[in-house]
Structure formats: C-alpha cells, structure tokens
C-alpha cells in the first residue's frame, strides 16, 4: 500500500513528462503517480512508480481525476496539474504535517504555491523572452525557439485564498498575515494542487462530475472540506510551482471552454453551497463567511435571506390568451414573491399601477422605474407579458449589488407555428434580475437622459451588456441559466424585431450556439403543446 497517489489528469499537455520527471526526482515517501491521458497519446517512459490510463475519447478533467483515484490504494491522494514542479521531499513534508494535526483525516492540505518559469523563447542572437506566445524576437525580428528552464520562482509566493461574492477564485494574502505558525488556514484553494485522504476524497464526492469537465475546482474542494467539518490547511514548510497558461494558443486550456460550461460550473457551485443544498454539509454557507469575516466583497451583502419580487410591465397590446397564460405561470412560479404590475390599461395582476401613456421606449422605461419605486423587495425579477417563466427562474439569488444578472436559458418561440431558437448567451431585459436599489439608480438616469436627449439604440436596452459610450452606467453583467428554460413568445406586436435565421444577424457573435427546435420538444415544459394552442 502506497502512502500517496499523485493523480494527474492530462490532455494535450506539453510538459507532462517534465512534470513526471520532476516528481520522481523529488519524492521521498512511498509515493506513486497515476496519469490519465485523456483523449490524446504521448509516450511516457516506464517506471515502477508510474501508472498510465489512456482514454481514446476524452472524458473531461474531473472524470479523468476520478479514474485515477479509482486505481489508488494509498492513504492519501494528491491531485495536481501536468505543468508543475515540486520541492525536494514535498510528499514527506506533507505527511509529517498531517501527522501533527489531531484532525488530520478531515484536512485538505496545500503547499505554498510559487510560479513556474518553464521556458523562454530564444533567437539565434541569444535574445531571451519570458514564456508567452511564440513569435519572432522583439529585438531583432528573427525566429525564436523554446528553451525549457524549469525554475520555481522564489517570488511571488501565494499562501492563502478566497472566493468573492460571485464565487470567483481570488488571492487573499491578508489572511495569512492574521495567522502565525507553519500550518495556517485558508478559506479556499487553487485547484492545481490539493491533498487529502483517499477516504475523504470519495466520501465528499470531490471532483463531482455534475460541475462539468472543468471550473470551480478550488471552490468545490474548499467548500466541501469546510462545510463538512474539515479544514483547509496551507503547509508553509514546502512548496510546488505552477505554470500559468499564457495567451496566444501555444499553451492554452487543453479542454474546450465555453461560456455556457463556465457559467454552469459557477451556478452549480452557488446552488450547491451558497443556497445550502449540499447534503453532506453540517454548517450553512453563512458559517464559512462568518469564520473568515470580514471577507472582501462579501461585506456588502448580509447573510440574511433577501426578499424577492417580480416587476411585471405590459403595453396591453397582446393577445389576452398569451398574457393570461404568462400571468398564471408567474403566479404559480413566484407565488411567495411580491408582484407589482405596471400597465397602460388597468389589469388585475399583483399590485397594479396604471400609467395612461402612449406605448414607446420612454414609456417602457417609465413603467419600469415606477414599478421599482413602488416595490419593497431587495431583489427584483423583470417579467414581461409574453414570456413564460419556469418556476426554476425565480430560484436564483444575485450575490453582488452592483451587477446585473441575466437568465440566458431561454428559447424564442414563433407564435404562429411553435418554431424555437436558442443561442448560448441571450441576455434580454425579460431575463434580468438585480438588486432593486441598483435598478432604480439605473432607470432614474436612463429616464432623465432619454427625456433630455431622446432615445438612441446605442444606449441599448439591457443594462451592463455593452461598453459603448452611450451606456447609462459602468456596471457589468453576468449570466446564469435556470434549471429549465423560459419561453419567449414572439408575435406581431413585439416592440423589438424578430429574427429567425442566423443570416438575419449583422453581428454573428450573437448566433453562437444557434439551435433550432419545435416548442413541443423543449424539456421542462409539459404544457408546451397547450401553450402553442393558446397562441
């Protein structure tokens, strides 16, 4: 039985053999290496301490790591990236630290992280350029070749980490300054290296494949460790060095990364941990924030439950059958939320405010602002009269006050025949959710500006989605995907135009992920056939 199994998931990794050689040169315990070649092949020299799994078809980083873990019978497992170097005796030093801890079996441990200077680009005249994209020498214009140097840089050295209120990984050096000793605590970790007992790896479902292939590794491991009663410990007695991927295609991410996948992993993290749905947790997420508080970016949002509400606005120029169906679905999916409706004719829906104005862009902005000021909820979902909202849409909770959030899991449905279109990143006003105070500030300025200068399309309709000079504010937006999609019914009275072919778009970036279906084939909508019948 080995002491440690080092698990290396690898796909198109240029420095895999160099990493393996580095490990073999520096281990001092009964340690083995288990490598998974995920969808590619490279010759790895035979060694009694190295096992290799070859996948003809790539399974993904998490699945490959789990494959390697299944071959292990060691007490501990280390997951590390395929482009790292290591301290002499790092494995022994990690085990020695575990043996000092009374709660060692519940600890996830990481060493100090350094930056790996893996290579330089060198021209025939001897000019050297630090690792980065390939190309000609900036000094003489001659072609360059790669010279592997493999240096673990002494500076910078990273010890402690966190995640912000959007669950993005962040460095947090100040946390290390709060603590003394060689074994200190960290709120989160960098996913390129972590160590724990093999038993804990499986009992906590580390590398949960529901996250997807890649993304949120550090958040997943840290939250599962802390919320289950364990600790994340940084061992300052040893280090590893990680090569950070450069831009330009020479050393990019080996797995294809789409915005859809990245956002799925992040939203899955929020749902599992921040919304307290992980069934192995013995502490709520708020406990972790309090333990390390004050945590940067989390101070502005209290850990109490936020109140949510629906702002519904309509110009009343819509087939009543569509409008009634949409209202019934909102009543059902958001039944415990505050609902305020703002219409151009009186309607019986939520708390109704009737504005006797003519239809138009300025009128719509005034409707929104009027409704926002009449509401009391902390968080507001925008709801339009011709969108069918799934109940899962209202489960979302924003985590940052000065940001706009859009549900991009939406199909556009042609009312005449049920033809449906979906793209990867469809940020629409009808899918907007944000803090009410932030929205009020935006729409007060928007209304003021349109009244004074008139409306220009360069201003845009969706806050936070562009950087044109005509934008109303400088806040950014983020997307999320509800569990099941919303249906945006497109009809003859839409205020904005309808486009049903990719070539109708002047900018093709808005067609990425273009998918066509019929409404009856959209999962999550059992009443789809009835809905198109209503239209």
pLDDT at 479: 87
Q: State the chain's mean pLDDT as an integer.
A: 89
Structure tokens given for 43: 């010759």
Residues in the chain: 535
Residue that the structure tokens 């990425």 belong to = 512
pLDDT at 212: 84
Residue 324 and residue 319: Cα distance in Å, rounded?
A: 9
SS3 of residue 522 by DSSP:
coil
Residue 499, pLDDT > 50, answer: yes
Please provide residue 176's backbone torsions phi and psi, each rounded to the nearest 5 degrees. Answer: -65, -35
Of 485, 472, 493, the closest CA to residue 416 belongs to: 493
Q: Is 334 exposed, middle or buried (0-12, 13-18, 19+ CB in 10 A)?
A: buried
* pLDDT at position 100: 96
Q: What's the pLDDT at 493?
A: 58
Q: CA separation (Å) from 138 to 208, 247, 394?
A: 45, 17, 53
Query: Roughly how many angstroms between the first and final C-alpha of the chain, as a whole number?
Result: 67
Report residue 182's pLDDT band, with 50, 70 and 90 as the boundaries: very high
Long-range pairs for 291-294: beta carbons < 8 A, 24 or more residues apart = 291/226, 292/162, 292/175, 292/187
* Angstrom distance (rounded) from CA 63 to CA 348: 52
Q: Does residue 345 surpass a pLDDT of 70?
A: yes
DSSP 89-128: THHHHHHHHHHH-TTGGGEEEEEEEEEEEEEEEE-TT--E
For residue 71, pLDDT beyond 60 = yes
Q: What is the pLDDT of residue 300?
A: 57
399 pLDDT tier (thresholds 50, 70, 90): confident
Task: Enumerate domains of the chain plus CATH numbers.
Answer: 4-292 (3.90.550.10), 308-534 (3.90.550)
Mean pLDDT of 381-397: 91
- Per-residue pLDDT tens over the stretch 360-380: 999 999 999 999 999 999 999
Would you state the structure tokens that stand for residue 515, as one six-digit string? 């998918």
Query: Residue 156 has what pLDDT?
Result: 85
Mean pLDDT of 271-286: 91
CA distance 335 to 325: 15
The answer on pLDDT for 298 being more than 70 is yes
pLDDT band at 247 (very low <50, low <70, confident <90, very high): very low
What distances in angstroms separate CA 230 from CA 3, 103, 122, 293, one per listed residue?
21, 8, 47, 18
Answer with the residue of higher pLDDT: 111 or 322: 111
More reliable by pLDDT, 212 or 24:
24
- For CA atoms 201, 206, 208, 214, give the dihedral sign: negative
**Chain position carrying tokens 């011709």:** 386
CA 213 to chain CA centroid, Å, is 12
Strand 379-384, strand 432-435: pairing: antiparallel
pLDDT at position 90 is: 98
| Range in 94-108, 154-168, 293-307 with the lowest mean pLDDT | 293-307
Q: What number is the average pLDDT over the span 467-473?
A: 88
Could you report the per-residue pLDDT of 301-313, keeping only the tens digit for each? 554 568 999 999 9
Residue written as tokens 């009737």?
354
Q: How far is CA 293 from CA 234, 283, 296, 372, in A?
A: 18, 15, 8, 32
User: Encoding tokens for residue 180?
Assistant: 């003394």
């Amino acid at each position: 039985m080995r002491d440690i199994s080092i698990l290396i998931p690898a796909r198109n990794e240029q420095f895999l053999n160099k990493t393996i050689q580095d490990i073999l040169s520096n281990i001092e315990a009964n340690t083995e290496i288990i490598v998974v070649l995920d969808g590619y092949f490279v010759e790895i020299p035979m060694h009694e301490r190295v096992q290799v799994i070859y996948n003809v078809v790539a399974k993904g980083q998490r699945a490959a790591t789990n494959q390697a873990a299944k071959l292990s019978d060691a007490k501990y497992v280390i997951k590390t990236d395929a482009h790292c170097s290591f301290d002499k005796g790092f494995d022994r030093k990690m085990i020695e630290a575990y043996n000092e801890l009374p709660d060692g079996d519940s600890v996830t441990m990481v060493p100090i992280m350094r930056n790996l200077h893996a290579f330089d680009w060198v021209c025939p005249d001897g000019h050297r350029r630090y690792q980065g994209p390939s190309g000609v020498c900036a000094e003489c214009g001659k072609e360059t070749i790669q010279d592997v140097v493999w240096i673990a840089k002494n500076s910078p050295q990273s010890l402690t980490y966190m995640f912000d209120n959007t669950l993005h990984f962040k460095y947090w050096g100040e946390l290390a300054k709060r603590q003394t000793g060689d074994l200190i605590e960290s709120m989160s970790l960098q996913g390129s290296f972590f160590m724990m007992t093999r038993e804990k790896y499986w009992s906590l479902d580390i590398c949960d494949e529901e996250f997807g292939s890649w993304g949120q590794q550090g958040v997943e491991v840290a939250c599962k460790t802390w919320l289950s009663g364990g600790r994340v410990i940084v061992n300052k007695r040893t280090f590893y060095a990680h090569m950070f991927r450069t831009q330009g295609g020479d050393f990019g991410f080996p797995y294809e990364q789409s915005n859809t996948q990245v956002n799925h992993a992040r939203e899955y993290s929020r749902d599992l941990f921040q919304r307290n749905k992980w069934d192995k947790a013995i502490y709520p997420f708020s406990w972790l924030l309090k333990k390390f508080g004050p945590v940067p970016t989390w101070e502005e949002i209290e850990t109490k439950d936020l109140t949510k509400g629906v702002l519904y606005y309509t110009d009343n120029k819509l087939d009543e059958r569509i409008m009634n169906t949409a209202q019934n679905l909102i009543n059902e999916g958001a039944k415990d939320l505050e609902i305020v409706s703002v219409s151009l004719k009186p309607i019986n829906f939520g708390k109704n405010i009737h504005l006797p104005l003519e239809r138009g862009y300025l009128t719509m902005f005034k409707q929104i602002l009027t409704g926002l000021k009449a509401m009391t909820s902390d968080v507001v979902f925008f709801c339009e009269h011709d969108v069918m909202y799934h109940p899962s849409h209202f489960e979302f909770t924003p985590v940052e006050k000065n940001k706009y959030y859009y549900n991009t899991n939406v199909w556009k449905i042609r009312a005449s025949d049920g033809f449906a279109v979906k793209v990867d990143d469809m940020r629409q006003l009808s899918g907007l959710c944000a803090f009410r105070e932030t929205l009020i500030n935006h729409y007060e300025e928007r209304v003021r500006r349109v009244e004074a200068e008139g409306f220009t399309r360069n201003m845009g309709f969706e806050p936070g989605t562009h950087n044109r000079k005509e934008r109303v504010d400088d806040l950014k937006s983020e997307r999320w995907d509800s569990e099941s999609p919303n249906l945006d019914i497109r009809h003859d009275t839409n205020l904005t135009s309808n486009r049903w072919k990719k070539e109708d778009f002047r900018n093709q970036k808005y067609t990425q992920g273009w998918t066509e279906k019929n409404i009856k084939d959209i999962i999550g909508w059992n009443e789809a056939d009835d809905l198109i019948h209503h239209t």
